Amino acid sequence: MRRPTRLPALLVALALSACADGVGPNGPEALQVQFSVQPPAGVSAEETQAIDNAFDLVDTYRVTVRDSVTGSVIAADTVSVTPGGDEYRFDFTLSPDVLGLAVEVTVVGLDGGVELYRGSDYTRIQAGSSTTNPVPVVLAVRYTGPGIRGTVANDNGAGLSGVTVNLFQGASPAGTVVTEDDGTYLFLSPSTGPHTVEPSPPGGTFLCPGTRDLTVVAGSAIVADFTASSTPCQIDLLVLSGGDEDNTAYVANLFASSPGVVTDTYFYVNQAPGLSTLRQYDVVLLFNNGIFDETTLLGNQLREYVAVGGNVVIGSFYWQARGDSQFPTPGWGNLESVDPFLADTVGFTQRGGATYSANDLGTIALPSHPLIQGVSSLVSLAGFSAGVLAKVEATVVASWTDGAPLVGYRVLEGGQRIVAVSLFPAADDPTQVNGDVQVLWENAITWAGNAGGPIQ
């Protein structure tokens, strides 16, 4: 059942606990399921070699057994091993109630906490097997370690084989691969720094997104997925808010005539959207109107969404509820680690994330940037701009006349775009704000959404 002699078999021993008249005629009986770990058929020679090399580096295995129907965890363990071994065993004590269950066993190999490969397979727990006669299962693992990998799929999510995928560092070609049988591709050992991944769309399809911009750091494992769609690409937008008043419908209407933008709304009442809902969207526009207690929950969920490839556009008065504002708020949790702006509480304005004085479009630092194209006039008459300061990691595109940032952004390792616009998107009266307001918001949504949404 093993591949070459270097690839170890993982012996997952499931010890069933029972009383004397329980499992088997003489009481407890041990069930051992032997997994031969190997690359699946049809993967590239490069990935096969990467997995082969990884076996000698793995010092920790994480094994999880789940009920294949409910998904509930039946057993889980993390075990340190000596790298390079031929065989490892993991013992779990299970209830006799699991007899007959179909289970999913997942094995993850790690090197010092860095995941190198993982695989899952299904088997059924049956009595009558023994440690001398294990149930053999071939567990196919895929390389998940440092590098750039992803999938090119069709509209239905099926992987497309034979698609050429190009990697660029700046304008210079940095590699070319062809997708495997299941549509996956892999670039091993890319150099550090900014890169762009650009597949060649199959004939008659639209590649969504067209490219993904990534930043490789030492040891990073980046996933970049693409869809070769039969219809033109669209940006799926979620307008998300909470607070004293639900302005989401008004804000969604800003994009009613925006080509290729499909908009939904979500206003927090007593339930947060959850990651499964958020990841349906390419970009989330987040703002709030009034302080509310659940910002930490929403912020943590949005950080999870960003971690899987989501993009976020932030508007006022997000910073009024930020953890560093002058207001007694719980903050936005983990989202604050990746947002571009801080609440200005100790600087020249001391506004705590909000201002109600007039502000005009001031300095445009990056006039060619897509975020500011078509924006030549912007006046916030009644305020509704934000008292903010840019983080060191942020790029400021344009500022207000008082020097506070108007629009800026951060691009994260996986290409996720976090855009900040220090303006209230629901300002609905010409006496409050006028000028190229709608253009600015359309720019923000389009630029963020074109980065591509969450990975599959």
Q: Counting every residue, how long is the chain?
A: 456
Cβ count within 10 A of residue 46: 14
* Boundary of a domain, candidates 190, 213, 229: 229
pLDDT digits (tens, 9 = 90+) for 229-277: 999 999 999 999 999 899 999 999 999 999 999 999 999 998 999 999 9
Within a domain: residue 454?
A: no
| Co-location of 34 and 137 in the same domain | yes
73 within some domain:
yes
Q: What is the pLDDT of residue 25?
A: 42
For residues 221 and 248, membership in a common domain is answered with no
Query: What's the CATH code of the domain at 195?
Result: 2.60.40.10
Let me know whether 261 and 212 are in one domain: no
Whole-angstrom distance, CA of residue 197 vs CA of residue 185: 11
Distances (CA, A) of 37 to 81, 102, 145, 179, 406: 16, 20, 16, 23, 53
Same domain, 201 and 239: no
Is there a domain that residue 2 lies in? no
Domain assignment present for residue 243? The answer is yes
One domain, residues 247 and 357: yes
Please give the Cα distance from 181 to 312 (Å, whole number). Answer: 33
Of the listed ranges 136-150, 189-203, 229-243, 313-327, the least confidently predicted one is 136-150
Predicted confidence (pLDDT) per residue in 324-334, tens digit: 888 888 999 99
Select, from the ranges 32-46, 95-109, 194-208, the one with the highest average predicted confidence (pLDDT).
Answer: 194-208
Quick one: tokens of 63?
A: 């094994």
pLDDT at 252 (0 to 100)? 96
Question: Of the residues 122, 143, 164, which one is the last residue of a structural domain?
Answer: 143
**Least confidently predicted of 15-19, 165-169, 355-359:** 15-19
Q: Give domain status of residue 371, yes or no.
A: yes
Indicate the pTM of the whole model. Answer: 0.82
- Here the contacts of 73-82 (C-beta below 8 Å, separation 24 or greater) are 74/98, 74/101, 74/103, 75/14
* Amino acid at residue number 150: G
Please tell me which residue, 410 or 123, carries the higher pLDDT value.
410
The residue among 108, 143, 178 that closes a domain is 143
Tens-digit pLDDT profile for residues 48-70: 888 888 888 999 988 888 888 88
pLDDT of residue 12: 58
Regarding whether 361 and 298 lie in a shared domain, the answer is yes
Number of domains into which the chain is organized? 3
Does residue 270 sit in the same domain as residue 415? Answer: yes
How far is residue 245's CA from residue 289's CA, in Å, rounded to a whole number? 6
Q: From the CA atom positions of the chain, what is the Rg in Å? A: 26
277 and 353 co-located in one domain: yes
Per-residue pLDDT at 54: 87
How far apart are the C-alpha atoms of 278 and 299, rounded to whole Å? 12
Co-location of 136 and 200 in the same domain: no
**What is the predicted pLDDT for the residue at 351?**
64
**Is residue 224 in a domain?**
yes
Do 301 and 436 reside in the same domain of the chain? yes
Higher pLDDT pick, 24 / 67? 67
Could you give the percent of the chain with pLDDT greater than 70? 86
Given a cut of 90, is residue 226 above it in pLDDT? Answer: yes
Which CATH number characterizes residue 18's domain? Answer: 2.60.40
CATH of the domain at 323: 3.40.50.880
CA separation for the pair 20, 390 (Å, rounded)? 68
289: in domain: yes
Decide if 248 contacts 267 (C-beta within 8 A): yes
Please check whether residues 264 and 320 belong to one and the same domain. yes
pLDDT at 357 over 80: no
Q: Quick one: pLDDT at residue 35?
A: 66
- Asked if residue 160 and residue 122 are part of one domain, the reply reads no
Phi, psi dihedral angles at 48 (to 5 degrees): -60, -45
170 in any annotated domain? yes
Q: How confident is residue 127, by pLDDT bands cut at 50, 70 and 90?
A: low
In whole angstroms, give the CA distance from residue 228 to residue 455.
14
Residue numbers of the domain that contains 62: 9-143
